[in-house]
Structure 1
Amino acid sequence: MRKNKAVFFILILIIIVFLTNTAHGTPEIPERIRVGLNYNSPSDDIIIDTNSKVSVIFFDSEQKSTSFIIPNSVKLSFRTDDYYNIKNGETKKIQYIKAVKYEGKLIGPYHIQIGESYLDYDSAQKSLNNIKSSFPDSYLAYDGQWRVWSGLFLDEKECIEHINNYKKKFNNFTFSLVGPDSKRVQIVNTFDDSIFMIYKSQETEIKVLDDTDVESLLEFNNTKYRGNLLIRIQEDNRLSVINDVRLSHYLYSVVGSEVSPSWHMEALKAQAVASRNYTIVSLGKHKKEGYHLCSSTHCQAYKGYTKEHERTNKAVDETGNQLLYYKDKLANTFYHSSSGGHTENSENIWSEAIPYIRGVEDPFSNGSPHDTWLLELNRSEIKKTLEENNIDIGQIVDIRIIETSQFGRAVKVEFVGTKNKVVLEKERVRYLFGTSNLKSIWYEIKTNSDLCIYNLDNNSIVTKRPNQLSIVSASGHEKIDLTREQISVKGLFQIKPYNVLPDKYFFHGRGWGHGLGMSQYGAKGMAERGHSYKEILEYYYKGTKVK
């Protein structure tokens, strides 16, 4: 009886521990993740370089699969089964119009099926080998079943003409017409531009047989990647490329892409933990597109094997599965390049007030290449940019900051025009003019029309623009006419002309990035002053703990 009670007590303890871990949100760390490599730029034609023996796997809508082996290194082009114009060695997708005369060679999405379907790849390949001499332009096709097809014809009429000719020559074969299908993909051998295969499958995986062998990495857009590459047809029938890769290998590249491998090891470890956190928190970010994260800074910079380095790999390995928590919940570890001297509260950049994303003094960032910067924009550039984003306020009269955060960042900026005015908030201004140009929202705005005015009331000098001033005359105060090009201002020693409306606006700024969470240059500075990676993370993310 006592023995049964003891067993029961142990079971209760196990259940309590399990429920406690579940309640505290202990995350499941995935072994592998999917990374979209051409986010925002899906293509009609992509090239994959297989540097060794690979397996090609087709998946249907029910995730059933069929596969075959490509035994040798080959460079393959994947393109939608459509109309193309081949001219001067370049293949370009076209909207085919029969009445138009094209230079070069035309190919299209009509094909001829030779014979019936086959049970598997080997049977189809054997049949193809037997008939290749009679049909030199024949190739394998897969649409749920294996087949042998021939030709890249422009329309049904051309296809039927070839079928009739084939029937006269080869009465021991059956022939049938295959019409267009926007979900089909051609695989082309780039060595001789021959069709290797045409298939219909929502997702195709090119799988290396050993993803630890760096000599057998797959290559896309001149970048080598560990793991496997997947070709996925999106809703608009364009192709996206996805890297299915081990989480640790993904982090090798991310840490090497985000910070310099030459930095102090504690800074590299801080980046490794922050990137691991951000990855796991963001796994659903691109669910609709069929992958977890993208390779751009929209998620995290990921540049494949080419960005790996011995020291950054070591930082990932030595932090193991360590993560950053806030009250036993996984922290969303936003980070940026350089704060400019002070990080920011989350609600002043986006909308949500996150308790651990609070502004902190950051002298450790000082000394970065982005401590201060200057962006110069002329009036016509600003007008054009606003109009390209459906903001028409007429000619630019003024741009002024009307609200700042407690730490000095521009929270609201007013653009005044001859037709209208508009207030843009927080990061919106950066995204309009480019985040690499307007590096942060911590800036002041000056112009080439600014005047220094001496205020007799408080013995101070203030900066004003002519369009903000009045002229004192015998008839009283008059606002300066905005249609005037210039006014002349008399100082102590000279009369100087000023443009009524500024021609140029100067954004004098500090730091690079949104300013939330960890500053990468700040982490570097803290590490160089003797702080550990845990101390770095717990400083920038208030109230958190590394576990």
Structure 2
Amino acid sequence: MRFKKFVSFFLLFTLVLMSTVSYVNASVNMPSLIKIGLFYASNSLPSYSIVSSSGFKVGVDDGAGNVKTIYNISYNNVQVIKDDNFYLQEGNFSDQAMADSQQTKLSSDVSNSVVGYDGNYHIYIGPYLSQSDATAAMNSLKSKFSDVKLVSPNNHIVIVQNGKSVFLDAASNQIYLMDTSGDGPISINGKRYRGYFEFIRQQNSDMTAINVLPLEEYLYGVVPAEMPASWNIEALKAQAVAARTYAVYNIGEYSKYGFDLTDDVNCQVYNGYDGENPNTNKAVDDTKGVIAIYNGQPIEAIFHSHSGGYTEDSENVYTNSVPYLRGVEDKYVFGYNEAIDNWTVSVTADSVAQKLKSSGIDIGNITNIQVTSKSWTGRAIQVTIYGDKGNYVLSKNDIRNFFGLKSNMITISGNGSASNSNTTYIQSQQGIVSKSLSGLAVMSASGQKIVENNDLYILGQSKTIKITSQNGSSTIFTINGSGYGHGVGLSQYGARGMADHGYNYIDILKYYYKGIYVYDTINNKAL
């Protein structure tokens, strides 16, 4: 009887235990390495200064997606430079040692020689700015080198140390540079990063510079750039999972440039090794391999700073309705930052009219500005600007961009109130500030001048310049707002508040991303 009771108890215990474990059918391809664009497109450069602790390995793609080392450089500081010059090529060698030996022998007779690689090792003589210069040099060297030939520019990359070329890559338009020890970090233009660098000669551009490193090490440089490292560890963990999920979801987003993500607000801010902090590194390590999934796939884990009291449904900010990006009350978001809990921006009718005209839109004199549509959360999704020649409607993110607002959680008031002609408006980061200058004094080398009702004086180096303001008045509109960011997904200040009220990172993620699983990809289980 006791045995039967024990078996029954064991079965019951097993059922209870099984009921507490969530099994999820997920298929997630977690990248081992991620490529982050540091300098690309209009921000790319013709050369980069690179520093390591122990010299460099130069690598190329082996055709199977792996990096093959082709050359070792003992110097710990070099410049990587795009090269569009002519060269002469001599010799054919199977390895670096043979090529280096031959180059040393030639250096007394040919001072401008360097070892290079195009699939095999050669000695390259040059550079020459023109084909005629290279051809003339080739003719003079044919008596010494029977196999010398002309090499035309073809997106070459040269590595230079203190103005002297030490290696020429003529194999392709792409090379890799790694720290010899493999420990890193490596510095590019004064900023340090884990992993290694890839350089690509892009068409109609300078060289794209890419940081290649493990996903988890990438997150070390992301989390403290997106959330203060001093915040509650559970909020930092939630940010780490959101950042990891965002990266996995968006892998290859910038593949046309040869990398996955950017290092700025176009994706996630990434500050590399120099931006790391022990607290956020711990948050990354404690959540290693953990992501948020919906229907077995990584979610688009977007996040923002401060919701203003409610997060938002995705379609009220972007285009698509996403089932896990639903608005929720953000109960604990307030009380941490007064500057974004509540803020005010003032604009004048004249400034709004002028901004519209600069975009080719003329609706005449502005008579009113109103929020004409709100979401259920209270966030403005449509603002109408009324003019005596017509109206103009701003929608969703265009509202923030047009008025320079921190968020769309706003009300607009003040239509009909006019400013006096002796009031001057100053544009600042906080918006337009009005100031009456009447009666103020301006000092110059010639003495004191009193500001009259319609006059403003600017003090120059040699004289005071008088600017007379136009007569008339301009209507002022006051925009009162709360929050910072688009309002969709995880609210960072809200996550901080939840963590400070005892919630863990799993609770936080499931609150802001509805219907998700927090999934451990290493152990293949839901948490």
Give the TM interval when normalised to the shorter protein.
0.7 to 0.9
Equivalences for residues 163-182 of structure 1 within 5 A: 163-166=138-141, 171-172=144-145, 174-181=147-154
- 1:25 maps to 26
- 1:161 maps to 136
Deviation readout 1:249-308 (Å, 9 max, x if unpaired): 112221122111111111111111111221211113222222222211222111111122
> Aligned in 2, Cα 1:64/1:284: closer, same or farther, shift over 3 Å?
closer
Equivalences for residues 312-461 of structure 1 within 5 A: 312-369=280-337, 370-375=340-345, 391-394=359-362, 397-398=365-366, 400-414=370-384, 422-431=392-401, 437-445=404-412, 450=417
Identity of aligned residues (%): 31
Q: 1:76 aligns with which of 64, 75, 78?
A: 78
**SS class of match (1:116):** strand
When structure 1 is superposed on structure 2, of 300-309 and 393-402 the one drifting more is: 393-402
Deviation readout 1:220-251 (Å, 9 max, x if unpaired): 23221111211123343432122221122112
- 2:488 maps to 516
Equivalences for residues 10-409 of structure 1 within 5 A: 24-40=25-41, 41-59=43-61, 66-82=68-84, 109-113=85-89, 115-166=90-141, 171-172=144-145, 174-181=147-154, 183-189=155-161, 192-200=162-170, 201-211=172-182, 213=183, 216-369=184-337, 370-375=340-345, 391-394=359-362, 397-398=365-366, 400-409=370-379
Runs (5+) with no aligned partner, structure 2: 1-21, 420-469, 519-525
**SS class of match (1:364):** coil
TM-score of the two chains, using structure 2 as the length reference: 0.75
- 1:105 maps to none
Aligned partner letter, 1:188: V
**SS class of match (1:413):** strand
What is the CA–CA distance in structure 2 between the aligned matches of 1:179 and 1:383, rounded to whole Å?
A: 56
> Aligned in 2, Cα 1:412/1:251: closer, same or farther, shift over 3 Å?
same
What is the CA–CA distance in structure 2 between the aligned matches of 1:386 and 1:153, rounded to whole Å?
A: 54
Q: 1:143 Cα shift?
A: 2.6
Would the aligned equivalents of 1:449 and 1:499 in 2 still touch at CA under 8 Å? no
Q: 1:415 Cα shift?
A: 5.0
**SS class of match (2:39):** coil
What is the CA–CA distance in structure 2 between the aligned matches of 1:439 and 1:234, rounded to whole Å?
A: 36
> Aligned in 2, Cα 1:409/1:247: closer, same or farther, shift over 3 Å?
same
- 2:513 maps to 541
> Aligned in 2, Cα 1:81/1:531: closer, same or farther, shift over 3 Å?
same
Task: Provide the alpha-carbon RMSD of the alignment.
Answer: 3.3
Q: 1:425 Cα shift?
A: 2.2
Aligned partner letter, 1:244: V
Q: 1:316 Cα shift?
A: 1.5
What is the CA–CA distance in structure 2 between the aligned matches of 1:208 and 1:171, rounded to whole Å?
A: 38
Q: 1:446 Cα shift?
A: 5.4
What is the CA–CA distance in structure 2 between the aligned matches of 1:344 and 1:411, rounded to whole Å?
A: 11
Aligned partner letter, 1:428: D
Deviation readout 1:435-466 (Å, 9 max, x if unpaired): xx5322223445796369xxxxxxxxxxxxxx
Deviation readout 1:96-147 (Å, 9 max, x if unpaired): xxxxxxxxxxxxx22233x233333332222111101111121122233322
- 2:522 maps to none
Runs (5+) with no aligned partner, structure 1: 1-20, 83-108, 453-496
Q: 1:350 Cα shift?
A: 0.3
What is the CA–CA distance in structure 2 between the aligned matches of 1:287 and 1:377, rounded to whole Å?
A: 41
What is the CA–CA distance in structure 1 between the aligned matches of 2:301 and 2:128, rounded to whole Å?
A: 53
Would the aligned equivalents of 1:39 and 1:240 in 2 still touch at CA under 8 Å? yes
What is the CA–CA distance in structure 2 between the aligned matches of 1:178 and 1:57, rounded to whole Å?
A: 21
What is the CA–CA distance in structure 2 between the aligned matches of 1:258 and 1:268, rounded to whole Å?
A: 10
Q: 1:524 Cα shift?
A: 0.8
When structure 1 is superposed on structure 2, of 342-351 and 243-252 the one drifting more is: 243-252
What is the CA–CA distance in structure 2 between the aligned matches of 1:73 and 1:383, rounded to whole Å?
A: 60
What is the CA–CA distance in structure 1 between the aligned matches of 2:87 and 2:388, rounded to whole Å?
A: 60
Deviation readout 1:136-187 (Å, 9 max, x if unpaired): 12112223332222223222222233334445xx535554332222x22222
